[in-house]
A and B are shown apart, each in its own frame.
Chain A
Amino acid sequence: MTDTATPTPTESLLRPSRLMSRRNAAERRFRLYGITAIAISLLVLAIMLFTILRDGVSAFRQTSVTFPVVLTAEALDPSGSLDAAAMAKVTTIGYGKVIDSSFLAFLQAEGLAVDGLSDKDARAILSKEAAGQLRAQVLAEPALVGQTITMTIWTNARIDGYFKGRVTMESAERDGNVSPEQLQLADLLAENGALSRPFNWQFLTGPDASDQRPEAAGLGISIIGSIFMMIIVALLCVPIGVAASIYLEEFAPKNRWTDLIEVNISNLAAVPSIVYGILGLAVFINFAGFPQSSSLVGALVLTLMTLPTIIIATRSAIRAVPPSIRDAALGIGASKMQTVFHHVLPLAMPGILTGAILGLATALGETAPLLLIGMVAFVDNYPSLSAAGALDPATALPVQVYGWAQRSDPAFIERSSGAIIVLLIFLVIMNAAAILLRRRFERRW
Chain B
Amino acid sequence: MNKMQNPETLVIANANKMTARKVQVHYGTNHAIKDVDVDILDKTVTAFIGPSGCGKSTFLRCLNRMNDTIPVCRVSGELLLEGENIYDPRVDPVQLRAKVGMVFQKPNPFPKSIYDNVAYGPRIHGLTRNKAELDAIVESCLKKAALWNEVKDRLDSPGTGLSGGQQQRLCIARAIATSPEVLLMDEPCSALDPIATAQVEELIDELRSQFSVVIVTHSMQQAARVSQKTAFFHLGHLVEFGDTGQIFTNPGDPRTESYISGRIG
Contacts and interface: CB of A to CB of B under 8 A. Distances in A.
Nearest to A332: B121
A121 B109 CA distance: 81
B211 to A, nearest CB: 14
Contact of B174 (A330, A332, A444): A332
A44 interface: no
B63 to A, nearest CB: 12
Contact of A328 (B110, B125, B158): B110
B56 interface: no
Contacts of B97: 330-333
Interface string A234-262: 00000000000000000001100000000
Contacts of B259: none
A439 interface: no
B94 interface: yes
Give the interface centre of A327, A330, A333, A347 by most chain B CB atoms within 10 Å. Answer: A333
Contacts, number: 73
Contacts of B110: 325, 328-329, 343
Interface stretch (B15-23, B98-106, B240-248): B98-106
Contacts of B109: 328
A287 interface: no
A335 B101 contact: no
A119 to B, nearest CB: 78
Give the interface centre of A322, A327, A443, A444 by most chain B CB atoms within 10 Å. Answer: A327
Given A253-B71, A327-B66, A444-B158, A332 B120 contact: yes
A123 B167 CA distance: 83
A335 B104 contact: no
Contacts of B106: 324
B108 A327 contact: yes
Contacts of B121: 332-333
A338 interface: yes
Nearest to B64: A331
Contacts of A428: none
A349 to B, nearest CB: 12
A254 B111 contact: no
B94 A331 contact: no
Contacts of B120: 329, 332, 334, 342
Contacts of A335: 94, 124
A443 B109 CA distance: 13
A386 B158 CA distance: 45
B227 interface: no
A368 to B, nearest CB: 41
A328 B171 contact: yes
Contacts of A327: 66, 69, 102, 104, 108
Interface string B163-176: 00000000100110
B98 A332 contact: yes
A341 to B, nearest CB: 11
A347 B108 CA distance: 14
A405 B95 CA distance: 65
Nearest to B71: A254
A439 to B, nearest CB: 15
B161 A324 contact: no
Given A254-B71, A444-B160, A333 B94 contact: yes
A333 B92 CA distance: 10
Contacts of B103: 331
Contact of A332 (B160, B161, B178): B178
A322 to B, nearest CB: 8
A254 B70 CA distance: 11
Interface in B35-84: 64, 66, 69, 71
Interface string A332-359: 1111001000110001000000000000
A342 B171 CA distance: 17
B178 A325 contact: no
B124 A334 contact: yes
A371 B111 CA distance: 47
Given A324-B106, A326-B69, A332-B124, 10 more contacts: A328-B104, A328-B108, A330-B66, A331-B103, A332-B98, A332-B101, A332-B177, A333-B101, A443-B111, A444-B161
24 contacts: A254-B71, A324-B104, A325-B111, A327-B69, A328-B108, A329-B120, A330-B66, A330-B69, A331-B101, A331-B102, A332-B102, A332-B120, A332-B175, A333-B101, A333-B125, A334-B124, A335-B124, A338-B124, A342-B120, A342-B124, A343-B110, A444-B111, A444-B161, A445-B160
Interface of B: 64, 66, 69, 71, 94-98, 101-104, 106, 108-111, 120-121, 124-125, 158, 160-161, 171, 174-175, 177-178
